[in-house]
Amino acid sequence: MNENRELSGKVGIVFGGSRGIGAAAARRLASDGADVALTYVSAPDRAAQTVKAIEAAGQTGLAIAADSADPEAIKAAVAQTLDRFGKLDIAVVNAGILLMGDVASVSLEDLDRMLNVNVRGVFLAIQAVAAHLPHGGRIITIGSNTAVRSGYPGSSVYSMTKAAVAVMVKGIAVDLAGRGITVNNIQPGPTVTDMTVAHIESLKPLIPVKRAGEPDEIAGLVSYLASQESGYMTGSSLTIDGGLAL
């Protein structure tokens, strides 16, 4: 292992790290020198592939089955990470779901599921890791530019949950500032992932740079927020969307 890498000796956990932005974040943390645990719900094969990529970077990976809507599963994932690595320095909270539906058609079940995963699950993940992070620890949430630009029919609940995350981060950042822990939120625009595959092409003409983002580009911002360089930034929401929210 190259001891000069930015995150050498650090341990991270990525909630929702089996694919898409989460997997890219896990790979980038590993390439920067961190050992990485990741959670998954429905893609064990993809989680295993991400662990292999972590190991190819010379680091140790750990895949944990855990539903971010389940408070006990979240706690167990943190406990398993601590048991395996002995500490925790970085948490990336990426788990989230998108269930489309306009105000007249959204079911109570879909509403509750999005709130449970996208809002309650984010809070509970932060709560679970915060007790174990050292001075200089890093918490990074993956929100969405829909928190500031909700221009898509049927996205009201999703947008609401992502706006909640942006405000949540501000409050928790204040709570943890005295311990030297930073809490920041990344708000990607349309990015090429499994979640967006059905509608990504229709969105590209709306984006000023005329293309969708790549997961590795979002992971680059994760890397910065996980680094020591970002220590003076906390409570911020950083939009990375090709200019779509301008």
Say which of 40, 158, 224, 232 is annotated catalytic. 158
Would you say 23 and 92 are in contact if contact means Cβ atoms under 8 Å apart?
Answer: no
Would you say 234 and 182 are in contact if contact means Cβ atoms under 8 Å apart?
Answer: yes
Coil, strand or helix: which one is 188? strand
| Strand ranges in 41-171 using DSSP code E only, listed in sequence order | 61-65, 90-93, 138-142
Coil, strand or helix: which one is 149? coil
Q: Single out the residue of 195, 165, 188 nearest to residue 97, CA to CA.
A: 195
Would you say 37 and 62 are in contact if contact means Cβ atoms under 8 Å apart?
Answer: yes
Sheet of 11-15: strand order equals: 61-65, 35-40, 11-15, 90-93, 138-142, 182-188, 237-240
Q: How many CA atoms lie within 13 A of 76 on its CB side?
A: 13
Q: Single out the residue of 89, 92, 91, 111 nearest to residue 100, CA to CA.
A: 111
The torsion angles phi and psi of 146, rounded to 5 degrees, stand at -65, -10
Q: How many Å apart are CA 77 and CA 79, to the nearest integer? A: 5
**232 is known as an active-site residue:** no
- Catalytic site residues? 158
